[in-house]
Amino acid sequence: MTDPDPVDLHVAALARRLRGPARLRRSMLAETRAGLRDAAAAHRDAAAAVAEFGSVAEIAPAYQAELTAAQGRRTALLLVALFPALVLGWDLLWSSGVAWTGPAPAAVRLLAGVQDVASWGITALAVVLLVLTLRSRADERRLALAAGGLGALGAVLCGGTAVAMNLANLRQSTAMVAGSPLALLAIVLSALALVLVLTSTARALRLAVRPDH
């Protein structure tokens, strides 16, 4: 049996400390392993390469900061893409004739207005966050916290108003879904979009509040 390679051990120890988007995490670890192998070849000594690299405790926070920033950016990007898509998709559906047949109660019209304003407001704020993630000196935990908070707010406001609107106008909603498979598909896709937002949001919030970096 051969001794475990110091480079592999060090990269594995670093990997255990890092959380975040899987592909970026893999890519950063692969790059680090290749760099450590280059250093080991240059020094003809893997242990020296590892010593020069720095301890996991010393180095991991900078790696984690990048992963947290990437998750914040990813969540912001999702909000920028999904909220306008939801508003425009439903507008398209309404204008193509898939709609309630009678006049909606005043409460429902009010909720629809709230939903539109919330959707565009969330989108605008998410664009601001996206621009902030481009700055190399941005505080990544605050950005992840903001993106996560914004996503959660958007999901609650838009999902909540959608459910409330349909409950307040249940008879017409049921008739619309029964009369058009497209309406059912739109509801399923909207629910999926909200699940995506909530998943990404939860990931961003988890990284933002991690106590160990």
Partner 1 sequence: MRPDAVRGHLDGLILAVLEAGPRHGYAVIEGLQARSGGALDLPTGTVYPALRRLERAGWLSGTWSTVGGRERRTYTLTRAGRHALSVQRAEWGEFSRVVGGILRGPEEQAT
Q: Can you tell me the distance from the alpha carbon of 40 to that of 19, in angstroms, rounded to the nearest whole number?
A: 27
CB of 37 to partner 1, least distance (A): 8
What sign does the CA torsion over 179, 181, 187, 188 have? positive
- How many angstroms separate the CA atoms of 177 and 210, rounded? 43
Q: How far is the CB of 205 from partner 1 (least distance, A)?
A: 20
Compute the least distance from the CB of residue 109 to partner 1, in Å.
43
Whether 115 contacts 157, CB under 8 Å: yes
Q: Using the minimum distance from each CB to partner 1, give the nearer residue, 72 or 159.
A: 72
Instruction: Indicate the residue among 24 and 164 with the shorter CB distance to partner 1.
Output: 24
Which one, 49 or 111, has the nearer CB to partner 1?
49
Binding site for partner 1 (CB under 8 A): 24, 27-28, 30-32, 34-35, 37-39, 42, 52-54, 58-59, 62-63, 65-66, 69-70, 73, 133-136
**Strand residues in 72-188 grouped as ranges (E):** none
Query: Residue 73 or 203: which CB sits closer to partner 1?
Result: 73
- Of 12, 14, 9, give the one whose Cα is nearest residue 58: 14
Task: Find where tokens 């398209």 sit.
Answer: 92
CB of 73 to partner 1, least distance (A): 8
* Least distance between partner 1 and beta carbon 124 (Å): 22
Residue number, 31 or 91, with CB nearest to partner 1:
31
Q: Which is nearer to partner 1, 24 or 87 (CB)?
A: 24
Residue 13: count other Cβ atoms within 10 Å of its Cβ: 14
CB of 125: closest distance to partner 1 in angstroms? 20
Handedness of CA 155, 112, 122, 76 (dihedral sign): positive
* 129, 147 contact by CB (below 8 A): yes
Q: Is 5 helix (H, G, I), strand (E, B) or coil?
A: coil
